[in-house]
Amino acid sequence: MSAASRHPALARFDQALAGGAAPEVWIRFPRQLGDVVMTLPFLRTLQHHWNAVAAERGVQLRWIAVGHHIGAALLSEADPAFIAEAHIEGGGAAKPDPWALVRGWRKRPPAAFLNLSQSARLPFAAWLSRVPLRAGIADNHLRLLYHHPIRYRNLPLHIATRIQPLLEALTGDDRALWLPLTPALLGGHKGPDKLRAEGWDGEPYATLAFGTRGFGKRWFPEDRTWPELMRLLQARDIRPVLLGGPDEAALGAALAGAVPGAINLAGKTTLPEACAIQAAAWGNVAIDTGLAHTAAATGRPTVTLFGPSPEVWVNPIGPRALPLRGPDVDCDPAVLDGFPTHGSSAHRIPPARVVEMLEMLVKES
């Protein structure tokens, strides 16, 4: 008995391929980087099942990603067997034109379309084009557009488990397996070259992801916490490497300038390159931001510093990843010296505790 005959959705997928649908699966990914990373175990498990169905038909599937540059850019340099095409959008006019997709898809639709975001444009285009298998998040009144809709928003579950019902509906498999993010999978091979260009000579290093648009998540006072952490790492012969996006470049330069020998790569790498650098690190430290999720998903020791976010729902996933947060009230007179906290409890985490936690994870690995 073939895999396609054992589960209704696999059989439907097989029928789509047999009926002349293009051997393509289009996936609309979430906007934020952390959310994209948390969909990847679902994706890899789905690929395991659907690629097997396609192989029985003698065809190779092309997996096509669509998403915002904040998060889906992680897939822009991926191995073609994992993601064959990545359509990276900006805002406004840079979003995909659904009518252009409809014109192409009506001639020959892809075998399946999956929506892992809150977007309505592409699901509507897939519905108009009669894509044979449509599934996704239905919170934006999109249920009627899908063969397999799921709830996602405001569930008291970790974000990665909220799409688990969709995996079961599409494959019969109720368990998504962790996917290690390596340069072999995601690309980013120029990352180490950029590190060398800044003076790295092969010594052990730790990456520090210090910035985020969620201001209250940051580790205050930043002119003390990060420099102190970097000096503690240097005392252990570990070189600090600051990572972040273009928005964090100025702060990264200021922090690195306070600690001679630290390397600032904020704004100088692509997302795959940053991930490749994290994958080769002695350890990684991040606040609650997208680069915490990529670091954890590489499998390297990763400590994430939490402020107001509920880590039980958003903690990064990885075999050597641990959350760390301060107490919910100020209880150390030594830190009550008037600096603004912006509602974050991360400021109550001493740098020494971060290093001790990271050393424990490194020893375990």
- Specify whether 64 is located in the same domain as 212: no
Secondary structure (3-state) at 277: helix
- Specify whether 290 is located in the same domain as 225: yes
Who's near 67: CB < 8 A, 6+ residues apart?
Answer: 28, 29, 30, 31, 36, 73, 75, 86, 87, 88, 89, 117
- Specify whether 169 is located in the same domain as 221: no
- Specify whether 221 is located in the same domain as 322: yes
- Specify whether 174 is located in the same domain as 189: no
HSE at residue 27, side-chain half, CA atoms within 13 A, is 25
**Tens digits of per-residue pLDDT, 233-245?**
999 999 999 999 9
pTM: 0.94
- Specify whether 120 is located in the same domain as 169: yes
Q: Regarding predicted confidence, which is higher, 331 or 346?
A: 346
On the question of pLDDT at 252 being above 90, the answer is yes
- Specify whether 200 is located in the same domain as 167: no
- Specify whether 17 is located in the same domain as 64: yes
Domain boundary, last residue among 156, 179, 202: 179
**Tens digits of per-residue pLDDT, 9-53?**
999 999 999 999 999 999 999 999 999 999 999 999 999 999 999
Range of the domain at 113: 3-179
- Specify whether 89 is located in the same domain as 206: no
